[in-house]
Amino acid sequence: MIKNKILITGGAGFIGAHLANELKKNNKIMIVDNLENKGGIPHIDKSNFFVKGNILDKKILKKIETWKPDIIYHLAAQSGGEGAYDDPKKDFDTNGFGTYLIAKLAKKIKCKYFIYASSVAVYGSSKKKLTENSNINPDSIYGISKYAGEMFVNQILNKTNVKVRIFRIFNTYGPGENLQNLKKGMVSIYCSFIWKKKPLIIKGSLYRYRNLMYIFDCVNILCRSINNKKLKKFEILNLSNGKKIIVKDLVKMILKVNNLKEWKIINKKDTPGDSFGNNASDKILKKKFNDYKFINLEDGLKKYFLWINKIKDKNLINSHPYKINKNYKI
Ligand SMILES: NC(=O)c1ccc[n+]([C@@H]2O[C@H](COP(=O)([O-])OP(=O)(O)OC[C@H]3O[C@@H](n4cnc5c(N)ncnc54)[C@H](O)[C@@H]3O)[C@@H](O)[C@H]2O)c1
């Protein structure tokens, strides 16, 4: 039985492709993606309705309006902190104005749910443990544009009947990421050097810290956020496992899961837009998602390398996990 018509913008990207794979089991899926970004290896499941196009394009918006989704997962974005510095206007157009347009459309078609993939970057660097009420103080172009998106969602949808979930997603890693992109995804960048059997280049301090979440957990929470009676009509949540890890220990763990005793490490100066540290409390998320148990870093990295070690083509075109095995389980 088909339950809902779900639009996933950015549904060919890293998180979006896995989300689509989970949601397609019980729902009709439309994917809108311009296949421009390279956060993930692009993947579109043939059983989904795919529209290649830009969320800023009026004709694409009309197509969405005609299809009339009940639920919108809005993930399309310029998704890299460092990438935003290459083209700040594009970053703001996509993440800010693009979100404005999709939120306006959600209001117009009176959809049931609007789920927005925001980012930890809205907080900037912080020494304190972050809660959903922490100060918003982005220290990057990307953080500013993602927060602009949040404000548009709030302004446009808060007083409507659309149920809104804004997830401030913390660093997510796992199969399907583009290991050739050295401008997005701390875990994927470091793992890519092991994959290429090259010295591991670390830009910035070894004492920077993050919360690192395996893709399965990120997708699971996003899926469970619809029909979740514990969530308010308008809910903002940190999507994080609440486990602080410093870069130095992340690298040690990457070597451990690969049974490597040592590896050449080159430390370089930091990159623009890279926060020193963020670490969240998972208290509210756990309360609202029945004490959800996250996969720990060691197990997540083991799963990640099971995929990485199967990659045969350097350009990654045929290496998306669902291309290697269409029943792939993240
Ligand atoms: N991966 C993470 O760790 C992380 C952390 C925080 C927030 N997020 C957010 O989650 C979302 C998904 O991230 P991801 O890691 O899957 O990134 P991604 O780059 O792999 O996916 C984004 C997708 O959006 C598409 N896209 C970009 N601009 C578009 C446009 N104008 N029109 C249509 N499609 C467009 C890209 O082609 C890409 O497929 C993004 O909004 C990102 O900001 C991700």
Residues 323, 328: Cα–Cα separation, whole Å = 9
- Taking the centre of ligand 1 as the mean of its atom positions, its distance from the CA of residue 66, in whole angstroms, is 24
What local confidence, expressed as pLDDT, does residue 2 receive? 63
- Taking the centre of ligand 1 as the mean of its atom positions, its distance from the CA of residue 13, in whole angstroms, is 6
Residues 41, 314: Cα–Cα separation, whole Å = 12
Cβ of 8: how many Cβ atoms within 10 Å?
Answer: 30
- Taking the centre of ligand 1 as the mean of its atom positions, its distance from the CA of residue 327, in whole angstroms, is 23
Asked if the structure places residue 120 within a domain, the reply is yes
Domain housing 236: 5-178+211-244+275-297
Phi, psi of 153 (to 5 degrees): -60, -45
Q: Cα 60 from chain centroid?
A: 22
- Taking the centre of ligand 1 as the mean of its atom positions, its distance from the CA of residue 262, in whole angstroms, is 34
Provide CB contacts within 8 A for 269, sequence distance 6+. Answer: 203, 204
Provide CB contacts within 8 A for 251, sequence distance 6+. Answer: 190, 200, 202, 206, 265
Given the CA of residue 142, which atom of ligand 1 is nearest to it? 43
Residues written for the chain: 330
Confidence of residue 3 (pLDDT cuts 50, 70, 90): confident
Q: Tell me the DSSP string of 246-287.
A: EHHHHHHHHHHHTT-S---EEEE---TT--SB--B--HHHHH
Residues 83, 24: Cα–Cα separation, whole Å = 31
CA 95 to each of CA 7, 135, 159, 276, 321: distance values in angstroms, whole numbers, following the listed order: 17, 21, 22, 23, 27
**Cβ(27)–Cβ(50) under 8 Å?**
no
Residues 208, 49: Cα–Cα separation, whole Å = 41
Q: Residue 311: CB within 6 Å of ligand 1?
A: no
With CA atoms as reference, report the closest residue to 156 among 106, 202, 95, 86. 106
Asked if the structure places residue 106 within a domain, the reply is yes
What local confidence, expressed as pLDDT, does residue 211 receive? 98
Whole-number percent of the chain with pLDDT over 70: 99
pLDDT digits (tens, 9 = 90+) for 236-284: 999 999 999 999 999 999 999 999 999 999 999 998 888 999 999 999 9
Give me the CATH number covering residue 88: 3.40.50.720
Asked if the structure places residue 198 within a domain, the reply is no
Q: Output the residue whose Cα is nearest ligand 1's atom 1.
A: 172
- Taking the centre of ligand 1 as the mean of its atom positions, its distance from the CA of residue 270, in whole angstroms, is 23
Cα first-last separation, the chain = 24
Decide: helix, strand or coil at residue 122.
Answer: helix
Residue matched to tokens 């514990």: 230
Amino acid occupying residue 13: G
Q: Output the residue whose Cα is nearest ligand 1's atom 26.
A: 76
Q: Output the residue whose Cα is nearest ligand 1's atom 15.
A: 14
Q: Say whether pTM exceeds 0.75.
A: yes
With CA atoms as reference, report the closest residue to 117 among 21, 237, 281. 237
Q: Residue 238: CB within 6 Å of ligand 1?
A: no
Asked if the structure places residue 170 within a domain, the reply is yes
**Cβ(86)–Cβ(42) under 8 Å?**
no
Given the CA of residue 56, which atom of ligand 1 is nearest to it? 31
Which neighbouring-strand residues pair with 237? 167
Amino acid occupying residue 40: G
pLDDT digits (tens, 9 = 90+) for 5-29: 999 999 999 999 999 999 999 999 9
Q: Per-residue pLDDT averaged across 114-119, rounded?
A: 98
What local confidence, expressed as pLDDT, does residue 217 receive? 98
- Taking the centre of ligand 1 as the mean of its atom positions, its distance from the CA of residue 206, in whole angstroms, is 27
Given the CA of residue 94, which atom of ligand 1 is nearest to it? 31
What local confidence, expressed as pLDDT, does residue 1 receive? 61
Given the CA of residue 120, which atom of ligand 1 is nearest to it? 6
Q: Output the residue whose Cα is nearest ligand 1's atom 34.
A: 33
Residues 265, 129: Cα–Cα separation, whole Å = 30
Residues 151, 122: Cα–Cα separation, whole Å = 11
Asked if the structure places residue 80 within a domain, the reply is yes
Count structural domains, the chain. 1
Residues 122, 214: Cα–Cα separation, whole Å = 21
Given the CA of residue 173, which atom of ligand 1 is nearest to it? 3
Does position 37 have pLDDT exceeding 90, yes or no? Answer: no
pLDDT digits (tens, 9 = 90+) for 56-113: 999 999 999 999 999 999 999 999 988 899 999 999 999 999 999 999 999 999 999 9
What local confidence, expressed as pLDDT, does residue 83 receive? 87
Asked if the structure places residue 110 within a domain, the reply is yes
Which of 14, 173, 236, 237 to probe ligand 1 with, by most ligand atoms within 8 A of CB?
14
pLDDT digits (tens, 9 = 90+) for 162-203: 999 999 999 999 999 999 999 899 999 999 999 999 999 999
Residues 185, 14: Cα–Cα separation, whole Å = 11
Asked if the structure places residue 194 within a domain, the reply is no
Asked if the structure places residue 330 within a domain, the reply is no
The conformation of residue 83, written as its DSSP 8-state character, comes to: G
Q: Residue 12: CB within 6 Å of ligand 1?
A: yes
Q: Per-residue pLDDT averaged across 301-322, rounded?
A: 95
What's the mean pLDDT when you consider all of the chain?
Answer: 96
